[in-house]
Amino acid sequence: MRFALEALLADVPAEQVAAARDFYRSRAAGRGPAGFEQLKEARAKKPAPRAAVPPPVEEPVEAAGVRVPVRIFLPSGGPPRGVHLEIHGGGFYMGSAAHSDVRNRALAEALHTAVVGVDYRLAPEDPWPAAPDDCEAVALWLVEQAEARFGTARLTIGGSSAGATLALATLLRLRDRGVADRFAGAALRFGTWDLSAHTPSGRLIADEYFIQAYVGHVPDRDRTLPDISPLYADLTGLPPALLVVGAEDILLEDNLTLAGRLSAAGNDVELRVYPAAPHGFTGHPTALAATALDGINSWLRERIS
C-alpha cells in the first residue's frame, strides 16, 4: 500500500503554513552540543525560565523509593477536573521543569486541571535509567495520591521530544505494574523513539551527543530495550495516545512507525502531522504552533472530561 504524506497532514489555515515557512527560512538551523564542554556552555547560556503568574508550588514527592522535585500548578476558580503529568524535553541533558512554567500555567487554566512538572535528573551526570526512574516515581505518586491531594483521580500525561520518550517509557513501566489504565490519555509531541540507530530516524541522529550522554554506557546491542527505545516495546494495553509531529521533523518516520505500531497493538491512537514544521515546532512563536497546542489542549480536555 502506498499513500502520500499530504494525506496525513493536519488541516491548518494556508496562511499559517506560509508564515511558518517564512519563519523557518529566516531562522538559522541549530544543532545540539557536540560534547560535555559544549553542553556546559549551552546550559550556562540558556535563558532563565520565565516566571508564571501565579507561580507553582515546589515540593518533593516520593514513590517506589525515589524522591523527585516537582512543580505543581493549580487552576484558579475551583478544584481541578483532572491532573496532567508534564515531562519537559531537552535531549535528556538540558532544561528543567521550570522552563515549562508558562506553558504549564496556561495549560492548568485552559483545561482547569492541576499540572505537575517533573524535575527529572539529567544526563550525563545521571544517565539512564535515572530519568525514567524519576518520571515513574512521580506517576506512581499520582496514581496513589491524586484523589487525596487534588480531589480527582483523572490523570493524563504528556511531553515533548525527550519528554515524550520518557512519558511513553513511564506508561510502559506502569503497564507492567498493572496501573497504566489509571491514565486517560497521553499527548506525545515529536518523541525520540529509537536510540539504537536501527530505524530511519534513529540512523539520522546516531551521532548526536545527547545519545552518548544518556545511554553511552549501554552497549549498542541493548539500546533497543523498550525503556530506552520505546519503538521496540510490546505496546499493548496503553491508554489513548495523541502523536504530534512536524512534516519537516528529522524524527517524522519513527513517529509514523510508532503510530502504526500503537494502532496494530490495539490502542486508540491519533496522529497529527503539521506541515512546514521541524522538530520542536510547538515551542516556536508561530501561529501554526499555537494551532497545534490548541488542538492538543482540546484532545486532553476530552480525555479529562
pLDDT score, position 4 = 60
pLDDT score, position 28 = 79
pLDDT tens by residue, the chain, 305 residues: 345 667 789 999 999 999 999 999 998 777 899 999 999 999 999 999 999 999 999 999 999 899 999 999 999 988 999 999 999 999 999 999 999 999 999 999 999 999 999 999 999 999 999 999 999 999 999 999 999 999 999 999 999 999 999 999 999 999 999 999 999 999 999 999 999 999 999 999 999 999 999 999 999 999 999 999 999 999 999 999 999 999 999 999 999 999 999 999 999 999 999 999 999 999 999 999 999 999 999 999 999 98
Cβ atoms 164, 118 nearer than 8 A: no
Residue 286 CB: number of other CB atoms within 10 A? 21
> How many angstroms separate the Cα of 234 from the Cα of each of 3, 224, 272?
26, 12, 23
> Rounded to two decimals, what is the model's pTM?
0.96
State whether the Cα torsion 79-81-82-88 is positive or negative: negative
Helix (H), strand (E) at residue 109: helix 101-111
Copy the grid coordinates of residue 267.
490502542
Cβ atoms 97, 68 nearer than 8 A: no
pLDDT score, position 7 = 72
Backbone angles phi, psi at 142, to 5 degrees: -65, -40
pLDDT score, position 6 = 72
pLDDT score, position 31 = 81
* DSSP letter string, 178-230: T-GGGEEEEEEES-----SS-SHHHHHTTT-HHHHHHHTTS-GGGTT-TTT-G
pLDDT score, position 77 = 84
Task: Say which amino acid occupies 118.
Answer: V
